[in-house]
Chains A and B, each alone.
Chain A
Amino acid sequence: MSVKIAAGAVVCVESEIRGDVTIGPRTVVHPKARIIAEAGPIVIGEGNLIEEQALIINGYPENITPESEVEPKTMTIGMNNVFEVGCVSQALKIGDNNVIESKADVGRNVILTSGCIIGAFCQVNTCEVIPENTVIYGSGCMRRVQTERPQPQTLQLDFLMKILPNYHHLKKTVKASHNAS
């Protein structure tokens, strides 16, 4: 149960973090968010915003625990991503500046590059790499490409990092030591 929270990250105590999870600086994890590393470690970069009831899970495919030992795959999440309320993300590789909107569902075999926006309630469980700056929206998961990536939510992050400690207890930060100390 090694959870390494870098200094500068704000992780509320009510959030549920299980397994080998590394959280980078300036990341905000709201209460009731769930980050579960079952089938391998999760590495979260900096400046991410993980809202309430979001579920980031590195789980076994189709919840079947393999009988033989399978090599654990690391889930990497880049910088400045936003996981809105109630979304479920199982994607193994997420780049920077992506937005996964409320109640969206991203499957395990999807690779998000940068600047992608998965719209609200869209379920993306194909086996593909989503090109940069793609917007997936609508009930039919229509797609289009936008010309600029979504802006990083710096204002929101600053505000939350100031206000959340006033109302919630935070998990202790541990220096994520990369060099063997």
Chain B
Amino acid sequence: MASLLQPDRVVYLVRGEKKIRAPLSQLYFCRYCSELRSLECVSHEVDSHYCPSCLENMPSAEAKLKKNRCANCFDCPCCMHTLSTRATNIPAPLPDDPTKTAMKKAYYLACGFCRWTSRDVGMADKSVASGGWQEPENPHTQRINKLIEYYQQLAHREKQDRDRKKMARRRQCMPLAFSEKYGLGTRLQRQRPGAPISSLSGLSLKEGEEQKDITIEPAPALDEVEPLPEDCYSRPISLPEVTTLRQRLLQPDFQPAGASQLHPRHKHLLMKRSLRCRKCEHNLSKPEFNPTSIKFKIQLVAVSYIPEVRIMSIPNLRNMKESQVLLTLTNPVENITHVTLAPCEDDDPDDINSTAKVVVPGKQLVLAGKDAAAEYDELAEPQDFQDDPDVVAFRKSNKIGFFIKVIPQKEEDADVTVSFKIRHDFRNLAAPVRPSEEGGAAAAPAPAESIWLTHHVELRLGPLAP
């Protein structure tokens, strides 16, 4: 029954700016605000850039210069896989003696997945293993660069005018360099639609330099357009020659229509990002700098703080008949956790998806702490928790199985969904030492006190039995 363990069966509600329902494995927990956070209520920041195939790190400035592409690796234009360099021996005349031929190594690019080679587009074999391959030049680069320069200058001038007006109005001593230094990272500079393009102004010339007036000629409008070829409608199409839309749009400079013009492009860089809680500005997730390492410096994921509910077995569900569903609760922390379940009230605004009534056990459930050494410690006595056999089906280290009763209310084809509230105690070990504690600096930090957290959980149990 692996389908019962699918992550989207059990979702937790996140009360942020938007109400998001997501499985616990995709959520983060801010232990300073003591709240669940999802990917949409955190701010994402770029940490570093790296190439996914050669795992080379690149500082952001260099990445921007190379247009976020790796210098060594290429992508197959046909199937987007990474290209590998292969060598063949070709007979080539020796430079000293033209009559004798010796075997020289020639290198070409080949894709292991779709068997595309660089010889297919007519690229000659190179004599060096790496660094010999060039991307084709875009014929419009000069015009584009000139346009970019002109608009940079325009944006700079507009920003200067705006800042001058602001200074004249408010008479603040905010240096002009302040608005230039910070880009789109801080909230002050988030781009609003319709505002002048201030992002480009950060890259322009320094203040004191004289700015040449760059003028551009407007693009000329042509009267005559190149006519279509004569046999455009009558020529039979050979499908292997035509590029697919995806292949074409991956190269927006050229957008070749024929497969013989598909040149390989450098591989896109990927980035490592760190997440930050928007309310308290603490880091929720910070990966390591090294691209080869998958560990995190800071990893505040929800699975390691909040008890997780999972569905273990579902009997046949029938409309308006009570059935018992077996769920499991796992305790991720090392101390004992007390959990209380409560059904949702009738007029609960969060309860929109449930199609069945649920009867949860009213008693408090006690979960043992997660003990990593438990399996090796043979002398430890199993803790006696005195479980009610009607409620608790089994208990195994930090996990218990318990029953809930489900009464499906609607006779629909859709899945039966139930929701309830789960309330547990949470020991906040990261809480800052409160200075109001008596005892002065010599006192030990106050023991972390428990707070009670409530989460709204929704379960998708599956269709009614036919």
Contact = CB atoms under 8 A, between A and B. Distances in A.
Contact of B114 (A137, A147, A148, A150): A137
A135 B259 CA distance: 14
A63 B259 CA distance: 41
A134 B114 CA distance: 10
A137 B259 contact: no
The A interface, classified by DSSP as helix, strand, loop or mixed, is: strand
A122 to B, nearest CB: 11
A135 B117 CA distance: 12
B240 A145 contact: yes
A136 to B, nearest CB: 9
B115 A146 contact: yes
A138 interface: yes
B254 interface: no
Contacts of A137: 79, 113-115
Bin the interface of chain B by size.
10 to 19
B371 interface: no
B120 A143 contact: no
A178 interface: no
Contact of A138 (B79, B117, B259): B79
For chain A, which range describes its interface: under 10, 10 to 19, 20 to 34, or 35 or more residues? 10 to 19
B116 interface: yes
A92 B240 CA distance: 25
Nearest to A135: B115
Given A135-B115, A137-B113, A137-B114, A146 B120 contact: yes
B279 interface: no
A144 B113 contact: no
A35 interface: no
A144 B120 CA distance: 11
A135 B112 CA distance: 12
A142 B209 CA distance: 57
B115 A147 contact: no
Interface in B337-384: none
Contacts of B115: 117, 135, 137, 146, 150
Nearest to A143: B240
Interface in A135-181: 135, 137-138, 142-148, 150
A108 B216 CA distance: 65
B250 to A, nearest CB: 15
Contacts of A138: 79, 113-114
Interface of B: 78-79, 113-117, 119-120, 240-241, 259
Minimum-distance CB pairs A-B, first 8: A145-B240, A137-B114, A135-B115, A147-B120, A144-B240, A146-B115, A117-B115, A137-B113
